[in-house]
Structure 1
Amino acid sequence: MIQRPPGRISKVQLWGNQGEDAIARRPHAAQPPKKEGPRINRDIRVPRVLLIDETGEKQGIMPTEAALEAAEQAGLDLVEVSPNADPPVCKIVDYGKLKYQDQKKKAEAKKKQKTVEIKEIKMRPNIDIHDYQVKTKAMHRFFEAGDKVKVTLRFRGREMAHQNRGMDIMNRVKEDFDEVAKVEFEPKLEGRLMVMVMAPR
């Protein structure tokens, strides 16, 4: 039996053990990471752009190369601000400063965003003056923080026969907070609970 000399090892990997039916596969090349933010300077590869100079004046449509030269002469960057326009709109700005201002705006907007919570204040039909003042002081804090308040008044046993007392308390709360809060959910009896929801104005 004639032995064949060992062949050279190919760089192409053979996957599986199917002889002639084996499929040769090359490893996929990793995709280059996508850049975030607008295209700037030499990354702008369209033939023409509508240029806005560093003073905010429109300079009209011109070749991208001419716009790049204008940005270089000003010592600034050419930034694509409206990529979907025809032709795209580019502006001459300090990109580092623009990026910083954008980040600052986003941080401020995030700080202003607040999840509105519903705080619950529990009362009784025969609540005393001191306890009422403590509860309303807490409600003031909640409204100042931008939260809604759910006032719940529980009736026990024979107290169900005096639901008008509960309504009197709810009306008193509405009057006391009329300047700072509005009623979103009018007082309503749910089983043994009378419920009202108020939101800051």
Structure 2
Amino acid sequence: MDGEPLGIVSLREAFAKAEEADIDLVEIAPNASPPVCRLMDYGKFKYAESKRQHEQKLKQKQVQIKEVKFRPGTDDGDYNIKVRNIIRFLGEGDKAKITLRFRGREITHQEFGLALLKRVEADLQEHAVVEQFPKMEGRQMVMVLAPAKKLPVKKSDKAE
């Protein structure tokens, strides 16, 4: 009963062995033919199962969409900081939504906004792929970037 299989046993005999050892008879694979059961402490089994599911849940990464807002007149200093933040977001595996907001009469010069978004795309071409190309949504132009697929980099043990 210390982990070794008992073979195909009748249900009555399995219950008797469980009663004799003062442990539970737990059905592991009900769809198998014949159904697979184990003699074990059911409480420990449930606890181990919940721990395993919790660890799997922690390993999963939810992709978030981080929004970075620009204006047609965004200057170089602010532009560089925003691009640096976008690179950080993409490095963490999140998507980046670039929103370019037009205010007042800026809406008449949408070509400035398009040029700015093309500049962002060009500066981030090694870090991101364009998932949604620039399009107008009301008074703002929106573009969505997703992280570029990178091959896993193997770290060498030697320091160069």
In the superposition, the TM-score normalised over structure 2's length comes to: 0.67
Give the direction of change, closer, same or farther, for the CA distance of 1:102–1:190 in structure 2 (3 Å limit).
Answer: same
| 1:175-194 alignment, distance < 5 Å | 175-194=122-141
Match of 1:127 in 2: 74
Residue 14 of structure 1 corresponds to none
Q: Deviations over 1:102-143 (max 9, x none)?
A: 121121233244554433211122321110122123223433
In terms of fraction of residues, the more helix-rich structure is: 2
Q: Relative CO higher for 1 or 2, CA cutoff 8 Å, sep ≥ 6?
A: 2
Q: CA deviation digits over 1:62-106, x for unaligned, max 9?
A: 212333455678886532113355543213445454333212112
Shift of the 58–187 alpha-carbon distance from structure 1 to 2, 3 Å rule, reads farther
Q: 1:70–1:177: structure 2 CA closer, same or farther, 3 Å change rule?
A: farther
| Count of aligned pairs between the two proteins | 147
Aligned residue in 1 for 2:30: 83
Does structure 1 residue 110 correspond to structure 2 residue 78?
no
Instruction: Select the structure of larger CA radius of gyration.
Output: 1
Structure 1 contact 174–183 (Cα < 8 Å) conserved: yes
Describe the SS at the equivalent of 2:135: strand
- Tell me how far apart the structure 2 counterparts of residues 185 and 141 of structure 1 sit (CA, whole Å): 19
* 1:141-191 superposed Cα distances (whole Å, 9 cap, x missing partner): 433444332211123455445433322221222233334433221101234
RMSD: 3.3
Aligned-partner SS, 1:59 = coil
3-state SS of paired residue (1:67): helix
Structure 1 moving runs of 4+ over 6 Å: 72-76
Q: Give, as a single letter, the amino acid of the residue that structure 1 aligns with 2:75.
A: D
SS in 2 for 1:108: helix
Partner of 2:110: 163
Any conservation in 2 of the 1:54–1:93 contact (CA below 8 Å)? no
Q: Does 1:147 align with 2:121?
A: no
Q: 1:94 to 1:180 in 2, by over 3 A?
A: farther
Aligned residue runs from structure 1 range 49-68, under 5 A: 54-55=3-4, 59-60=7-8, 62-68=9-15
